[in-house]
Amino acid sequence: MNIFLLANEAAAESPLSFKLLPAYSTIVVFLVAFGIFKFFVWPKITKALDARDEKILSEIRAAEAAQAKAKAAQSEFEKRLEEARTAADDMIRKARSEADRQADELRTRSQRELEDMRLRATQELESAKRTALAEIHAVAATLATSVAGKILKREIQPSDQKRLVDESLSEMTSR
C-alpha cells in the first residue's frame, strides 16, 4: 500500500505546476548539451562527412577521368584497328593483283613456250619428213635400180640409174 500512498501524494500536484529546479536544471543541461554538441560532436561529424564527400567526389572524378582515358584509348585502338584493316585489305588486294599478274604472266609464258614447242615440233617434223623423204629417195633409187637390174639382167650405167631415179621421183612427187 505504500506505493498507493506515494502515488496519491504525488497526484495532489497539478501536472502543469511550474517548478524552478527543473527549469534551472534544463538551462544547465541544455547549455552543456549544446556546448558539447557544437564544439565536440558536430565538428567531428561534419568534418568526417565532408571528407567522405570529398573522397567520393575525387573517386568519381578519377573514375570519370579513367573512363575518358579508356574511351580515348578505345577510339585510338579502333582507329588503329581500322588502319590495320585498311592496310590488310590493301595488302590482300595487292597480293591478289600480283598473283593475277603472275598467273597471267605464267599463262602467257606457257602459251608462248607451247607455241614455241609446237613450232619446233613442226619444224622438226618437217625436217624429219624431208630427211625421211631423202632417205626414201635414196633407198628407193637403190632398190629400184637393183630391181630393175635384176629384171633387165643387165648392167645399168650410172647415167641410166640417175635418169631412172629422177623419173621415179617425179612420178612419186606427182603422186
Partner 1 sequence: MQFLLASGNNPISHVIDAPVRIGGMEPYSGLTLQVVTLFVGLIVFMAVLLYASKNISTGKESLGHRRYLSRGRIAQVIEVMCLYLRDDILTPMMGKKDAHKFTPFLLTLFFLILSLNLIGMVPMQDMQLITGTWIQDAQLAVVGGTATANIAVNAVLAFFVFIVIQAHGFRELGVKGWLEHLCGGHELVAGPKALWLVVPIIFVVEVLGLIIKPAALCIRLFANMFGGHTLLATMLMFGGMTWVGTNSGLATAGVTLVSGIFAILITFMELFVALLQAFVFMFLSAVFISLMSHHEEEAEAHELEGATATAH
Among 22, 74, 75, 99, binds partner 1 (CB under 8 A): 22
Shortest distance in whole angstroms from residue 64 CB to partner 1:
18
Residues written for the chain: 175
Region binding partner 1 by CB under 8 A among candidate stretches 27-35, 104-112, 125-133, 153-161:
27-35
Site string for partner 1, 145-174 (x = CB under 8 A): ------------------------------
Burial environment of residue 156 by CB neighbours within 10 A (0 to 12, 13 to 18, 19 or more): middle
Instruction: Quickly tell me which residue has 500500500 as its cell.
Output: 1
Shortest distance in whole angstroms from residue 62 CB to partner 1:
12
Is 57 one of the binding residues for partner 1 (CB under 8 A)? no
Region binding partner 1 by CB under 8 A among candidate stretches 40-48, 71-79, 120-128, 142-150:
40-48
CA atoms of 70 and 99, how far apart (whole Å): 42
User: Cα dist. 96→81, 88, 109, 139 in Å?
Assistant: 22, 12, 19, 61
User: Cα dist. 61→65, 76, 85, 106 in Å?
Assistant: 6, 22, 35, 65
Region binding partner 1 by CB under 8 A among candidate stretches 44-52, 61-69, 88-96, 125-133:
44-52
Segment (H or E) for 5: helix 2-11
CA atoms of 97 and 94, how far apart (whole Å): 5
Please check whether residue 169 is in contact with residue 137, taking contact to mean a CB–CB distance below 8 angstroms: yes
Shortest distance in whole angstroms from residue 37 CB to partner 1:
4
Q: Which is nearer to partner 1, 28 or 151 (CB)?
A: 28
Q: Which residues bind partner 1 (CB under 8 A)?
A: 2-4, 6-11, 13, 15-23, 25-27, 29-30, 32-34, 36-38, 40-42, 44-45, 47-49, 51-52, 55
